[in-house]
Amino acid sequence: MANPVSFIGGGNMARSLIGGLIARGRDAATISVSEPDPQRRQALGAELGIAACASNLEAAARGSIWVLAVKPQVLRAVCAELRATAEQQRPLVVSIAAGVRIDALARWLGAGARVVRAMPNTPALIGAGITALVAAADVDTDSRAQAQAILQPAGETLWLAREDDLDAVTAVSGSGPAYFFALMEAMQNAAIGQGLDPDTAAHLVRATALGAARMAAEGDESPRVLRERVTSPKGTTAAALAVFDSQGFAALIDAAVAAATRRGAEIAQEMARD
Secondary structure of residue 26 in the 3-state scheme = coil
- What's the one-letter identity of residue 136? A
Query: 119-144 pLDDT, tens per residue?
Result: 999 999 999 999 999 999 999 999 99
User: Does 158 share its domain with 36?
Assistant: yes
Residue in 155, 102, 111, 163 with CA at minimum distance from that of residue 129? 155
Q: Is residue 14's pLDDT more than 70?
A: yes
User: Does 216 share its domain with 149?
Assistant: no
Q: Is residue 274's pLDDT more than 60?
A: no
- What's the one-letter identity of residue 255? A
* Pairing of the two strands 5-8 and 31-34: parallel
Residue in 104, 89, 99, 15 with CA at minimum distance from that of residue 52? 15
Identify whether 272 is part of a domain.
no
CATH value at residue 84? 3.40.50.720
Phi then psi dihedrals of residue 119, to 5 deg: -125, 90
Predicted confidence band of residue 22 (pLDDT cuts 50, 70, 90):
very high
Its domain, for residue 18, covers: 5-169
What mean pLDDT comes out for the span 160-169? Answer: 95
- Is this prediction's pTM over 0.85? yes
* Pairing of the two strands 129-135 and 114-119: antiparallel
Query: 184-223 pLDDT, tens per residue?
Result: 999 999 999 999 999 999 999 999 999 999 999 999 999 9
Identify whether 273 is part of a domain.
no
Q: Are 82 and 56 in contact (CB under 8 A)?
A: yes
What's the pLDDT score for residue 42? 94
User: Does 196 share its domain with 230?
Assistant: yes
Domain count, the chain: 2
What's the pLDDT score for residue 269? 86
Distances (CA, A) of 39 to 10, 19, 125: 11, 18, 21
What's the pLDDT score for residue 1? 57
What's the pLDDT score for residue 272? 75
Gyration radius (Cα) of the chain, Å: 22
Q: Which of 169, 197, 220 is the last residue of a domain?
A: 169
What's the pLDDT score for residue 192? 98
Q: Which of 169, 186, 203 is the last residue of a domain?
A: 169
Q: Are 27 and 55 in contact (CB under 8 A)?
A: no
User: Does 154 share its domain with 181?
Assistant: no
What's the pLDDT score for residue 65? 97
What's the pLDDT score for residue 251? 97
Question: Side-chain half-sphere of 29: how many Cα atoms within 13 Å?
Answer: 1
Identify whether 40 is part of a domain.
yes
- What's the one-letter identity of residue 111? A
What mean pLDDT comes out for the span 69-76? Answer: 93
Q: Is residue 118's pLDDT more than 90?
A: yes
97 burial via Cβ count (<10 Å: 0-12, 13-18, 19+): buried
